[in-house]
């Protein structure tokens, strides 16, 4: 993930320490700004508003830090990890999935495939997906709650209720928004696999990924599948798989 660097008032000791610290596996934004902000607000407000910028003196400064040029980075708890670490693979896949969500949301805004309320819910889910990356970057803290998964499930049920039963596999296609849904779906699945791989790698140390996060990412891909069907039926129609003729192989 590529994050901007935000400047705020710090002591000289903090300034020296921050020169070598990264957060979210990309820049020091999460450690210097977002992580402390989450801690202070009890994770209740995850956005930096213009008012907060004015009150606390946050401003955009340099984007690059050069501290990751040797293939290492630091995450939210101060651990220094190689960028090939399973945790960074998981964080990167989550970021990629979120990028596809952004493209999908842009496409949905151009058409009438979903209601304003449904669009707002999808936008909220994108923010929570960013929280997924934040939680992965801050071992020992939790951002994703069971209620977030229940919200996805409610939207899945709402979109799925009018759809006809499936009689065959569907293929990616059916219109621009539907295609974006399938991209978000498949990348979300990859993110889920990387998170599971990380969870397995952490078993020896006794650490584990919070269960609500695992559920949330799993439901996200389900939502993208149902939303893809919904959008396709608003546009070019669903693309159904046409199977090749099969034959038994000789033993």
The mean pLDDT value for 26-44 works out to 46
* H or E stretch covering 125: helix 116-137
- Separation between Cα atoms, residue 69 and residue 74, nearest integer Å: 12
Which is more confident, 56 or 223?
A: 223
Distance, CA of 13 to CA of 32 (rounded, Å): 13
Which of 46-50, 96-100, 156-160, 178-182 shows the lowest per-residue confidence on average (mean pLDDT)?
A: 46-50
Look at residue 61 in the predicted model and tell me its pLDDT: 67
pLDDT category at 26 given cuts 50, 70, 90 is very low
Quick one: pLDDT at residue 68? Answer: 87
Domains located in the chain, CATH noted: 6-81 (no CATH), 85-240 (1.20.1200.10)
Distance CA 186, CA 234 (A): 21
- Which own/partner pairs from 241-245 qualify as long-range (CB within 8 Å, at least 24 positions apart)? 241/168, 241/169, 241/170, 241/171
What lies within 8 Å, CB to CB, of 122 at 6+ separation is 101, 104, 105, 108, 114, 155, 227
Mean per-residue pLDDT for 23-51? 45
Per-residue pLDDT reduced to its tens digit, 195-211: 999 999 999 899 999 99
Kindly report the average pLDDT of the chain as a whole number.
83
Q: What is the pTM of this model?
A: 0.77
Q: Which pLDDT value is given to residue 43?
A: 42
What was the pLDDT predicted at 63?
Answer: 76
Q: Using DSSP, state whether 80 is helix, strand or coil.
A: strand
Residue 122 predicted with pLDDT over 90: yes
Tokens of 151: 């919200």
- Strands 170-171, 6-7: parallel, antiparallel or unpaired by DSSP? unpaired
Rounded Cα–Cα distance for residues 235 and 177 (Å): 9
Q: In 167-237, where do the E strands start and end? A: 170-171
Token representation of residue 11? 């002591």
User: How many Cβ atoms from other residues are within 10 Å of residue 125's Cβ?
Assistant: 21
Share of the chain above pLDDT 70, in %: 75
Return the pLDDT at 38. 52
What is the per-residue pLDDT for 204? 87
Output b/e per residue, 180-209; b: 16+ Cβ within 10 A. bbbbbbbbbbbbbebbbebbeeeeeeeeeb
DSSP 26-58: TBSHIIIIIHHHHHHHTTS-----HHHHHHHT-
- Give pLDDT, residue 121: 98
Q: Which pLDDT score is estimated for 52?
A: 41
């Amino acid at each position: 993930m590529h994050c901007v660097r935000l400047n705020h008032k710090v002591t000289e000791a903090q300034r020296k320490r921050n020169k070598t610290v990264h957060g979210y596996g990309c820049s020091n934004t999460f450690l210097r700004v977002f992580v402390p902000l989450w801690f202070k607000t009890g994770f209740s407000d995850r956005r930096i508003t213009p008012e907060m910028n004015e009150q606390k003196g946050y401003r955009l400064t340099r984007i690059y830090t050069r501290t990751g040029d040797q293939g290492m980075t630091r995450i939210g708890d101060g651990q220094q990890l190689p960028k090939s670490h399973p945790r960074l693979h998981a964080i990167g896949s989550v970021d990629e999935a979120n990028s596809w969500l952004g493209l999908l949301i842009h496409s949905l805004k151009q058409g009438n495939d979903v209601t304003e309320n449904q669009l707002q819910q999808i936008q909220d889910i994108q923010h929570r997906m960013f929280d997924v990356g934040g939680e992965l970057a801050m071992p020992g803290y939790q951002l994703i709650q069971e209620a977030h998964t229940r919200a996805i499930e409610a939207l899945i049920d709402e979109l799925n209720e009018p759809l006809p039963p499936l009689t065959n596999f569907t293929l990616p296609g059916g219109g621009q928004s539907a295609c974006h849904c399938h991209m978000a779906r498949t990348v979300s699945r990859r993110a889920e696999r990387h998170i599971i791989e990380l969870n397995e790698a952490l078993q020896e140390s006794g650490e584990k990924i919070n269960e609500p996060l695992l559920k949330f990412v799993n439901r996200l891909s389900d939502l993208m599948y149902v939303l893809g069907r919904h959008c396709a039926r608003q546009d070019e129609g669903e693309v159904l798989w046409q199977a090749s003729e099969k034959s038994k192989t000789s033993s």
